[in-house]
């Protein structure tokens, strides 16, 4: 490892060795504590980060769009220059295998460059104008220009499960930069070292870009006080969060209780139901079970899009499907979870589901006492037991799924109608299932941000047609996405300029709009 840790807050060009409480990462594969100790940011450090960010915002917004794409490209290059360090520390802090981390790094840099290209060609920064009509009666019409302007400093709370693509330089940061917003990342306390390596790469990119230093900051914090001080700081303009429901709601509540509330986009996960319709189950039950087992255990079930709920019609085809799924999950096996917190929550949640009335445990998750290795879990119940279970809508983060059996086609619709908001819902059907597919589509598009046909929800493409979001409680606002280029909209607001004098048009280079040139 070339990187030498400062274990400090990154506040623009300053590195502040903090006096706050300390925390260290743990290697989930060995249980070993990793050097160094990182410290919670103090209120003064958070205040300093926000003041730098605000001042950077006022300066950056006058710079041309090219400054945003240049920064995004530089961040991608700087990340690549420390790829080996990122992967080495990533393996130690998260237990993710090298191939996955290299792949995720590729996704992260490709994402940054995709946003850069879409900013450059003006697609993301809509603007529109209406010419003056001085002769209109009874009153002349003014000249109007509408431009999408950056909201201001954005706080990013990265995900534990994507330490690169949804973290320091991940999709939230990329979309905030594409919007022209400075970013302050709250490093995930389970991968602070990886966050520092990525954070230093972003800070170098900001420096090379010639943009003000306050365009990026990174603070550490294991205590909720750090999140509180950050979210409630008066100079913060928006929050992007990926993580648990409890943490997401706490952050939303903090933002709503500010004297000046700010938007929070929190992606809080979901069950991602997979509906396997009767004809398809008969025709392809065994193959579907094997594919599903792979989707459930992919990345040790640590994706927000893992299918935690499988809906099938009871009967012989169902029983064969279930037997095949048990066997396939057993064959797939488990793996090392990201950290002790995830492992403990996974074991507690599967234990709670096992205690639910009418729910049968088909696979008991194995666990090792010293490391974070776990095996897959599987449950089964009829629709009624699902409907009345108190733990029904709680996300189980890890390699677990719950097969809910329905008696007839009406049962599929009843379950769909009772679902809370979801990131995704999947429908597997054959020609003979078409009528039911239509009815399910009508219901499920009210419930989910993405509808997957004949496939599995894991694997979130990063492009302009992706929607990674969905109705509450999957996210806090179904009108936005956190993946794909449309994610930029979270951090833009329209501003209308009426009769802007020609002399002021040149005062700042503005988005690619002829009216501004």
Angle at 449 between CA 447 and CA 453, to 5 degrees: 90
Nearer to a second copy, 74 or 488 (CB): 488
Closest separation in Å from C-beta 488 to a second copy: 12
The distance of Cα 407 from the centroid of its chain, to the nearest Å, equals: 36
Closest separation in Å from C-beta 254 to a second copy: 13
**SS3 track for 75-113:** HHHHHHHCHHHHHHHHHHHHCCCHHHHHHHHHHHHHHHH
From 93, 120, 304, 342, active-site residue: 304
CA distance 226 to 189: 11
From 104, 267, 324, 395, active-site residue: 267
Closest separation in Å from C-beta 264 to a second copy: 11
Nearest to 365 by CA among 383, 392, 345: 345
Q: What is the rounded (10 degree) CA torsion for 130, 135, 136, 137?
A: 160
Closest separation in Å from C-beta 169 to a second copy: 22
Closest separation in Å from C-beta 480 to a second copy: 8
Nearer to a second copy, 52 or 448 (CB): 448
DSSP assignment of 290-325 = HHHHHHHHGGGG-STT---EEEEE-SHHHHHHHHHH
Q: Which two tokens stand for residue 283?
A: 């025709």
Q: What is the rounded (10 degree) CA torsion for 370, 372, 378, 381?
A: 90
Q: Positive or negative CA dihedral for 111, 116, 117, 122?
A: positive
CA distance 481 to 284: 33
**CB 10, CB 216: distance < 8 Å:** yes
Closest separation in Å from C-beta 54 to a second copy: 10
Nearer to a second copy, 68 or 191 (CB): 68
Closest separation in Å from C-beta 516 to a second copy: 13
Closest separation in Å from C-beta 266 to a second copy: 11
Any catalytic annotation for residue 304? yes
Closest separation in Å from C-beta 153 to a second copy: 12
Name the DSSP class of 215. G
Nearer to a second copy, 153 or 189 (CB): 153
Any catalytic annotation for residue 318? no
CA distance 338 to 343: 8
- Helices 66-81 and 98-120 pack at an angle, to 10 degrees, of 160
Which residues is 271 bridged to in the sheet? Answer: none
Which residues is 39 bridged to in the sheet? Answer: 22
The long-range contacts involving 478-487, CB below 8 angstroms and separated by at least 24 positions, are 478/421, 478/449, 480/265, 481/449, 482/166, 482/171, 482/172, 482/175, 482/240, 482/242, 482/265, 482/267, 483/171, 485/114, 485/115, 485/118, 485/123, 485/124, 485/175, 485/178, 487/171, 487/172, 487/175
First to last CA, the chain: 48
CA distance 393 to 421: 10
CA distance 488 to 457: 23
Q: Which positions are catalytic?
A: 267, 304
């Amino acid at each position: 490892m070339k990187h030498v840790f400062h274990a400090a807050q990154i506040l623009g060009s300053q590195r502040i060795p903090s006096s706050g409480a300390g925390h260290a990462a743990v290697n989930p594969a060995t249980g070993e504590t990793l050097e160094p100790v990182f410290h919670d940011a103090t209120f003064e450090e958070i205040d300093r980060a926000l003041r730098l960010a605000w001042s950077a915002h006022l300066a950056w917004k006058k710079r041309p769009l090219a400054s945003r794409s240049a920064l995004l490209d530089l961040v991608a290059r700087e990340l690549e220059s420390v790829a080996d360090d990122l992967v080495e520390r990533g393996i130690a802090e998260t237990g993710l295998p090298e191939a996955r981390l290299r792949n995720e790094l590729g996704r992260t840099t490709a994402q940054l460059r995709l946003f850069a290209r879409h900013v450059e060609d003006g697609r993301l920064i809509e603007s529109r104008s209406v010419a003056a009509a001085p002769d209109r009666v009874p009153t002349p019409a003014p000249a109007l220009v509408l431009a999408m302007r950056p909201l201001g400093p954005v706080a990013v709370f990265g995900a534990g499960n994507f330490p690169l693509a949804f973290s320091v330089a991940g999709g939230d940061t990329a979309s905030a930069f594409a919007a022209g917003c400075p970013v302050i990342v709250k490093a995930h306390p389970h991968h602070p070292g990886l966050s520092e390596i990525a954070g230093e790469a972003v800070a170098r990119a900001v420096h090379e870009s010639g943009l003000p230093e306050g365009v990026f900051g990174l603070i550490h914090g294991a205590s909720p006080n750090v999140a509180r001080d950050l979210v409630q700081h008066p100079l913060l303009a928006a929050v992007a969060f990926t993580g648990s429901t409890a943490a997401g709601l706490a952050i939303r509540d903090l933002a709503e209780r500010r004297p000046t509330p700010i938007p929070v986009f929190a992606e809080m996960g979901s069950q991602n139901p997979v509906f396997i319709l009767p004809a398809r189950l008969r025709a392809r039950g065994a193959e579907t079970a094997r594919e599903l087992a792979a989707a459930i255990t992919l990345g040790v079930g640590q994706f927000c899009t893992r299918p935690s709920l499988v809906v099938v019609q009871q009967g012989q085809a169902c029983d064969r499907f279930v037997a095949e799924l048990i066997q396939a999950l057993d064959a797939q096996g488990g793996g090392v979870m990201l950290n002790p917190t995830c492992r403990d929550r996974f074991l507690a949640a599967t234990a709670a589901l096992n205690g639910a009335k009418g729910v049968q445990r088909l696979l008991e998750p194995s666990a090792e006492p010293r490391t974070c290795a776990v095996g897959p879990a599987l449950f089964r119940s009829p629709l009624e037991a699902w409907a009345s279970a108190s733990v029904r809508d709680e996300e189980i983060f890890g390699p677990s799924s719950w097969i809910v059996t329905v008696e007839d086609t009406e049962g599929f619709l009843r379950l769909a109608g009772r679902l809370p908001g979801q990131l995704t819902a999947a429908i597997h059907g054959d020609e003979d299932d078409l009528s039911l597919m239509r009815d399910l589509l009508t219901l499920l598009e009210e419930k989910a941000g993405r509808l997957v046909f004949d496939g599995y929800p894991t694997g979130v493409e990063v492009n302009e047609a992706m929607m990674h979001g969905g109705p509450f409680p999957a996210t806090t606002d179904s009108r936005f996405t956190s993946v794909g280029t449309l994610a930029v909209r979270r951090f833009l607001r329209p501003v209308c300029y009426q009769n802007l004098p020609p002399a002021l048009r040149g005062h700042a280079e503005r988005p690619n709009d002829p009216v501004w040139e």
